Chains A and B, each alone.
Chain A
Amino acid sequence: MLAPSPVPPEAVAVRDLRKRFGAAEVLRGVSLTAREGEVVAILGASGSGKSTFLRCLNLLEVPDAGEITVAGEAVRWRQRRGGRVPADRGQVDRLRARVGMVFQGFNLWSHRTVLENVIEAPVHVQGRERAECVAEAEALLAKVGIADKRHDYPAQLSGGQQQRAAIARALAMHPRVMLFDEPTSALDPERVGEVLAVMQALAEEGRTMLIVTHEVAFARDVAHRLVFLHEGRIEEDGPPAETIAAPRSDRLRQFLARCRIGVA
């Protein structure tokens, strides 16, 4: 798949992101720009900082240093004892509403039906008309293939169905960017395909997506770019097919070898 041209505007731009948890330095200066319509697969061994990186983008983790710009709006900071924090909580909420996030563990709200999960944020965060949100939610649920489950509760769904509901919930906010944090890692192997198929369809309609994943084949076939994180730094960043076929770094080569063994 080709990256769209001419060069579209930046959807997310991150410069020199750093984050430490106690003594462990998890991100050691990560810079990455994703343009609109771009699908970026982020690979890395566990502990490489890839999930932390993704969580920093919507400020579920607060990075110690570095700049984050979402859809042209840069996060403002203020200094506080023990580090910096976002200066404006309202801005944080606004940016988060522009970034859809899909979690490894689905994280649906168990006390609400699938449909209620999808309309929750559009109605209560964005203040949109309920009827309009319901109509849109039903269309989204149809798109991810679980329209018949809309009045069920999350616990009644299989993992793959829950993850598809979670994708619909994220899409309902009309996000500028979609973040996927290992979206298939908690699924039974036979359920992985149905979630990847939904994600592939989203990629094909030109959505901006950052995907932390272990699915090397998916990254190769669907992503425009592959980013390999190692020990908190970007080790490789390039077109997926070439990068996977001929990794420049030993780290990526070792990682890919391990993944293939894991798959086989």
Chain B
Amino acid sequence: MIDIAFLAESLRALAAGLPLTLGLTGGAVALGLVLAGLAAAGRLSGIAVLDGLARLYVFVFRGTPLLVQLFLIYYGLGQFRPDLQALGLWWFFREPYWCALLALTLNTGAYTAEIIRGGVLAVPHGAVLAGRACGMSRGLLLRRIVLPLAARQALPAYGNEVISVVKATSLASTITLLDLTGIAQKLIAQSFRALEVFVCAGAFYLAINLAIIGLVRLAETILAPDLRRPRPV
């Protein structure tokens, strides 16, 4: 039996976790994009050292579970407290929030790097040749031709990635953070009513992702105006 009053109360209580979930998502997606841009640039640079470093980074962070990464950063690095204190980094690794943000950023950065690389590789060679033939400098070519074409190619996969980051933030609850899932677990421990609480938590995640899907769709119509129009038969 669903208790409506308790459901409403759960919604209110869970809403308090929304800023943390959104903050972790926004932070990890934004920082992860920068990191991914650098890693993709390394992979595409043709410079063996940079390519190798980027490859290693992607391999490690894509090949291990986010939960393991999170525990290694928060609990694992905790064992090096004196060293981190000596380096002046303890304030960062002491805080579960920063650890969660770091783990999420590194993880999504690895996936996004491959998404960006795939997008750039999918840019038609002829479009690049035409830009070079017009006398475009490398920077101009990148800005006006390569990145816009790569972005629209990569956008569907990138939308998936952002959505998976939203859901991945729930793992932050395992290192004591009170995000949506963290609060949900606390409520269940107090009330023993898993159904209402998790229905509410799930609804919050759905709502966030609904907004993200809308944003991705908007970006698609901006980046791919030619695909909006019907093509001639």
Contact = CB atoms under 8 A, between A and B. Distances in A.
B135 A109 contact: no
A96 B226 contact: no
Contacts, number: 77
Interface stretch (A22-30, A99-107, A129-137, A196-204): A99-107
A124 B226 CA distance: 21
Nearest to A89: B137
Given A60-B133, A153-B229, A107 B140 contact: no
Interface in A47-105: 58, 60, 89, 93-99, 101, 103, 105
Interface string B205-233: 00000000000000000011110010110
A79 B152 CA distance: 39
Contact of B136 (A99, A108, A110, A124): A124
Given A155-B226, A156-B229, A107 B134 contact: no
Contacts of B136: 93, 121, 124-125
B130 A125 contact: no
A97 B127 CA distance: 16
A96 B231 contact: no
Given A89-B137, A93-B135, A173-B134, A107 B126 contact: yes
B148 interface: yes
B190 to A, nearest CB: 54
B178 interface: no
A93 B144 contact: no
Interface in A150-196: 153-156, 166, 169, 173
B232 A109 contact: no
A122 to B, nearest CB: 9
Main secondary structure of the interface of B (DSSP, over half): helix
Contacts of B53: none
B12 interface: no
B115 interface: no
A125 B149 contact: no
A111 B135 contact: no
A120 interface: yes
Contacts of A120: 134, 144
B225 A111 contact: yes
B48 interface: no
Contacts of A154: 226
A166 B229 CA distance: 21
A211 to B, nearest CB: 16
Contact-residue size bin, chain A (C-beta under 8 Å from the other chain)? 20 to 34
Interface string B149-163: 100100000000000
A206 to B, nearest CB: 22
B49 interface: no
Contact of A93 (B126, B127, B137): B137
A233 to B, nearest CB: 25
Contact of A111 (B131, B133, B223): B223
Interface in B133-186: 133-137, 140, 144-145, 148-149, 152
B226 A125 contact: no
B149 A110 contact: yes
B129 A60 contact: yes
Given A111-B148, A121-B134, A155 B129 contact: no
Contacts of A155: 226, 231
B149 A96 contact: no
Nearest to B138: A89
Contacts of B124: 107, 110
Contacts of B127: 107-110
Contacts of B232: 156
B132 interface: yes
B231 A156 contact: yes
Contact of A96 (B135, B140, B144, B223): B135
Q: Which 10 A-B pairs have the closest CB atoms?
A: A97-B135, A153-B226, A107-B126, A121-B134, A96-B135, A107-B130, A101-B133, A93-B135, A125-B135, A105-B126
17 contacts: A93-B136, A96-B132, A98-B135, A103-B126, A107-B130, A109-B131, A110-B149, A110-B226, A111-B148, A111-B225, A111-B226, A120-B134, A124-B136, A124-B144, A125-B136, A156-B232, A173-B135
